[in-house]
Homo-oligomer: A and B are copies of this chain.
Amino acid sequence: MSTAETAIDALKAQVCALHAELIRWGLVAWTSGNVSARVPGRELMVIKPSGVPYEDLTPDTMIVTDLEGEVVDGHHQPSSDTAAHAYVYRNMPEVGGVVHTHSPYATAWSAAGEPIPCAITAMGDEFGDDIPVGPFALIGDHSIGEGIVATLKGHRSPAVLMRGHGVFTIGKDAKAAVKAAVMCEDVARTVHLARQLGPVPRLGQDDIDKLHDRYRNVYGQQDTTTTGAGA
């Protein structure tokens, strides 16, 4: 087995395992969420097969496609969201992982068409701003991918609420994108609950800047093998 094949096999195992995190943190119902990873240094990505229950996922069932979404290796159809993942990888070279979910609180904000205001320090840390709303877009062509990239390019937030649809998150690798998806639902819930109590003040911009800067820099320098969350 070549080194390249070994690297892809390791990525298949990682992407497969990360789907369990979507279940664990309550982000998905039935088969409605997916994780992908870019194959470093190659025009390829690894993504969930379409319509396979999470408990039946194994590394072998993962699909390898090129960055146009064409299947290179795999026995199933790739996720129906493959075109959106591929568009992100083509247009954001710094992105190594993409996650899509319909997690309930975040999707509720997307259905209301309202950004999640940066009202708690955990949002300052991870998102550095409000979590933005992207355009409504239908599946079937590049529209969803374009909407993700247009919203997230140059934005601090690794998460976008696609209007009337759900969440896409990005990261330097698949694990970081999964973490962003978990944190997005967590803060979407907390700020939603706060809104039921009354008006929720956004943090001061200066405080948000300091939180985000410290989180990106102090954490990153300490330990590049883990992704902390304020703990």
Contacts and interface: CB of A to CB of B under 8 A. Distances in A.
A121 B165 contact: yes
Contacts of A53: 226
Given A81-B230, A107-B194, A195-B196, 16 more contacts: A25-B29, A29-B182, A29-B183, A30-B182, A32-B231, A48-B231, A50-B231, A76-B223, A77-B223, A80-B231, A110-B120, A119-B164, A121-B138, A122-B166, A139-B211, A139-B230
Contacts of A201: 113, 164
B52 A197 contact: no
A123 B152 CA distance: 26
Interface residues of A, number: 74
Interface of A: 25, 28-34, 48, 50-53, 76-77, 79-81, 100, 102, 104-105, 107-114, 119-122, 136, 138-140, 164-166, 179, 182-183, 185-186, 189-201, 203, 207, 210-211, 214, 218-219, 222-223, 226-231
A165 B231 contact: no
Given A50-B222, A102-B122, A229 B32 contact: yes
Contacts of A112: 194, 197-200
A141 to B, nearest CB: 11
A86 B81 CA distance: 38
A230 B84 CA distance: 12
Contact of A120 (B77, B111, B185): B111
A197 B108 contact: yes
A222 B77 contact: yes
A145 to B, nearest CB: 15
Given A120-B165, A164-B121, A228-B51, A186 B29 contact: yes
